Amino acid sequence: MAVRVASTIVDLHESLADPRTGGRRIALVPTMGAIHDGHLGLVETAREHGDFVAASVFVNPTQFGPDEDFERYPRDLDRDVDLLASAGVDVVFAPDIETMYPPGTESVMVDPGPLGQVLEGEFRPTHFRGVLTVVAKLFALLRPSAAIFGEKDYQQLVLVRHLVRSLHLGVDVVGRPIVRDDDGLAKSSRNVYLSDAERKAALALSHALREGADAAVGGTDAVLRAANGVLDAAGDVGLDYLALTDAELGDPAPGEPARLLVAARVGATRLIDNLGFDLPADTKRAT
């Protein structure tokens, strides 16, 4: 069956034909478009978790700050639909802003809590409020049994899982590992903004993460020293943060899974990346 494109809620419901009553499990891949291999990998995972795959294409204005790139964010719906269809998506939901935020409802938002104010939240104070609000809307409209998110936006993944647990939404939130180019750069829709020189400089992010992970045997201080050393030596990289956490973004602990996260500006483009690894049991906490 050819992919169906729905732009309104009525269109969406007709496209889904109420699969809940037909026993089909919907797996949802939320996107903002500008589809790349990372998104197509999410679709692949979605097919493993549902009988019917839906993808949303919606550039969500509430997760952009006033000085961010909402207006210039790459948009090409025809291309996105073609790529999603080739990956096996059954329906693409591509609403306009008024559909997702009907007049008079703009002030109804989801509060992400304290975890939404650290790391990305410190630099983008309203970002996760917008993310969780639009995710909650998509879950309400599509009623998926599973939703697939990339680990590149790791804090987002953790917060969406908190959202589901807190509001008893009954959605299995599945994370898929980061897809990288051959040179190690994490796939991102914003990579198109990078010049050739900036793209080369941006490789410092993934290099720093690998160096940090390789230094884990020396403890958390060693992880951060190694990663910071790479970033300090890089040109055209303005660091926003480098943080070592546990899997839930709390304090890292020896013998437990850890996550090293970085955000930086390369030229005028802001990029994020992260890497998960285990801290050896005999390491010491950073002080």
In this structure, which long-range contacts are made by residues 179-183, counting pairs with CB atoms below 8 Å and at least 24 apart in sequence? Answer: 179/36, 179/37, 179/38, 179/41, 179/150, 180/206
Give the span between the Cα atoms of 120 and 262, in whole angstroms.
10
Catalytic residue among 39, 49, 127, 162: 39
User: Which residues sit opposite 274 in a β-bridge?
Assistant: 261
- Going by C-alpha positions, the residue among 53, 130, 62 that lies closest to residue 84 is 53
User: Which residues sit opposite 147 in a β-bridge?
Assistant: 28, 173
Q: 197-234 in b/e burial notation, b at 16+ Cβ within 10 A?
A: ebbbbbbbbbbbbbbbbebbeebbebbbebbbebbeeb
Task: Check: CB of residue 94 under 8 Å from CB of residue 7.
Answer: yes
Give the span between the Cα atoms of 26 and 12, in whole angstroms.
13
- Examine the residue annotation and report whether 39 is marked as an active-site residue of this protein: yes
Task: Check: CB of residue 27 under 8 Å from CB of residue 50.
Answer: yes
* Residues tagged active-site: 39
